[in-house]
């Protein structure tokens, strides 16, 4: 995979917009959104392969004008369907992988600055994960120890896609970008990395090895990449704590002034850190660069309240843990951010009309 040198990836002055250039407000999103820069290079690649990018965009309800400003918001479903329709139209099962080869971490816009100026690979991943909701409120990056491979770390890029959306091209595009980013930061080829996808393969094993890594499995429970844990400690050549802090301040200002969907951003942050206090209004507000009262006001403007968001996230997580795992109730309570199991019992009675044990038995 060919990628730009990290030193040339991005600089604050290279951001192709200023706060004054951006629209006064982002429309309240009826559906999932993503920044338009995810499709940078789509038109040139499609044309080079003999396709008509304008016609393909029109088929999903998009136009080239909507892609002119990379920070504008477009519907995630249209992006997902565009990639699938283009692959089918061109008869290229590897279209998402091809598009991924043309991209690097700059596809995340200003979020890339935080990674570029981080001290280590691990810090870069944490920074990207923390601010990924700016790129899309439905996206998250989870980093945890790999339970199946001692000494390995599991990195899972997740984006909420409806069951009836054709997901393969979009997921392979995303992981192609992530692989290139990590190969660039670590200086490694990934010969001992392990990639897994939920979907079935769309092209040959040789095809996947050419674009990604040697060890790939399909039909798994989740999409994830497993890399040696030692790689997280590799220092980044362009590290600069002052510039990283400046980038974080800049991004917090963007989020504060031009939010995509603050409710989804809060849901993402709460879900990712529920067990460690993610249900705390003060903490989430700080992460979004907002005063707690301002955050509550933004949520109210979208017909929501912080406590309701936390409760909804807990209910969804409780449903999954009770029905799909055998975890003890005390552990489930801890994962949900409760200090006592009795709190879980009361919540389950309110959510499901029965105790946690009864809900589990009635599955």
Residue 173 pLDDT greater than 60, yes or no: yes
Which of 3.40.50, 3.90.1520, 3.30.70, 3.30.1490 is the CATH number of 6-233? 3.90.1520
Who has greater pLDDT, 85 or 290?
85
Q: Give me the residue label for tokens 């995340």.
A: 108
Highest mean pLDDT among 104-108, 173-177, 317-321, 335-339: 173-177
Q: 184 is written with which tokens?
A: 């660039």
Higher pLDDT, 133 or 236: 236
pLDDT per position as a tens digit, 56-103: 999 999 999 888 888 788 889 999 999 999 999 999 999 999 999 988
Query: What is the pTM assigned to this prediction?
Result: 0.67
What span, in angstroms and rounded, lies between the C-alpha atoms of 81 and 116?
Answer: 31
The pLDDT value recorded for residue 26 is 40
- Look at residue 15 in the predicted model and tell me its pLDDT: 42
Least confident interval from 18-32, 173-187, 317-331: 18-32
Q: Residue ranges of the alpha helices (H) in 102-162?
A: 111-116, 121-135
Q: pLDDT band at residue 255, thresholds of 50, 70 and 90?
A: low
Pick the CATH number of 262-363 from 3.40.50.970, 1.10.10.60, 3.40.640.10, 2.40.50.100: 1.10.10.60
pLDDT of residue 123: 95
Mean pLDDT value of segment 3-25: 43
List the beta bridge partners of residue 154.
Answer: 144, 226
Q: What is the mean pLDDT of residues 253-267?
A: 69
Q: Are strands 139-145 and 73-75 parallel, antiparallel or unpaired?
A: unpaired
- Select the more confidently predicted residue: 218 or 295: 218
Contact yes or no for 83/99 (Cβ under 8 A): yes
Which residue from 321, 324, 323, 320 is spatially nearest to 332, judged by alpha carbons?
A: 321
Q: What pLDDT score does 356 carry?
A: 95
For the chain, give the percent of residues with pLDDT over 90: 52
Query: Which residue has tokens 């040696």?
Result: 228
| Contact of 272 with 140, CB cutoff 8 Å | yes
Least confident of 102-111, 144-153, 201-210, 247-256: 247-256
Domain range annotation of the chain: 6-233, 262-363
| Per-residue model confidence as pLDDT tens digits over 200-212 | 999 999 999 999 9
Highest-confidence segment of 66-75, 126-135, 312-321 = 312-321
């Amino acid at each position: 995979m060919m990628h730009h040198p990290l030193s040339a990836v991005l600089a604050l002055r290279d951001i192709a917009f200023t706060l004054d250039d951006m629209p006064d407000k982002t429309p309240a999103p009826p559906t999932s959104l993503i920044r338009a820069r995810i499709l940078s290079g789509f038109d040139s690649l499609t044309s080079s392969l003999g396709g008509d990018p304008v016609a393909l965009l029109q088929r999903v309800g998009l136009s080239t004008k909507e892609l002119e400003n990379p920070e504008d918001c477009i519907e995630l479903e249209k992006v997902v369907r565009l990639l699938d329709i283009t692959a089918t139209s061109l008869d290229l099962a590897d279209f998402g992988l091809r598009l991924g080869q043309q991209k690097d971490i700059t596809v995340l816009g200003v979020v890339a600055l935080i990674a570029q100026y981080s001290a280590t690979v691990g810090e870069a991943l944490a920074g990207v994960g923390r601010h990924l909701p700016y790129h899309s409120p439905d996206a998250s990056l989870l980093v945890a120890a790999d339970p199946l491979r001692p000494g390995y770390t599991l990195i899972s890029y997740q984006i909420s896609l409806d069951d009836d959306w054709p997901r393969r091209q979009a997921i392979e595009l995303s992981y192609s970008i992530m692989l290139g980013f990590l190969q660039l930061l670590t200086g490694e080829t990934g010969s001992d990395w392990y990639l897994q996808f939920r979907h079935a393969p769309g092209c040959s094993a040789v095809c996947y090895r050419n674009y990604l890594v040697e060890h790939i499995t399909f039909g798994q429970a989740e999409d994830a990449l497993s890399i040696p844990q030692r790689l997280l400690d590799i220092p980044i050549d362009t590290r600069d704590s002052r510039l990283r802090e400046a980038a974080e301040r800049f991004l917090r200002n963007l989020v504060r002034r031009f939010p995509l969907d603050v409710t989804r951003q809060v849901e993402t942050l709460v879900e990712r850190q529920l067990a460690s206090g993610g249900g705390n209004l003060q903490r989430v507000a700080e992460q979004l660069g907002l005063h707690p009262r301002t955050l509550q006001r933004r949520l109210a403007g979208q017909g929501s309240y912080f406590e309701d968001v936390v409760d909804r996230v807990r209910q969804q997580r409780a449903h999954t843990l009770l029905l799909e795992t055998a975890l003890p109730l005390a552990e489930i309570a801890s994962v949900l951010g409760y200090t006592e199991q009795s709190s879980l019992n009361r919540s389950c009675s309110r959510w499901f009309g029965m105790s946690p044990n009864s809900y589990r038995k009635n599955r």
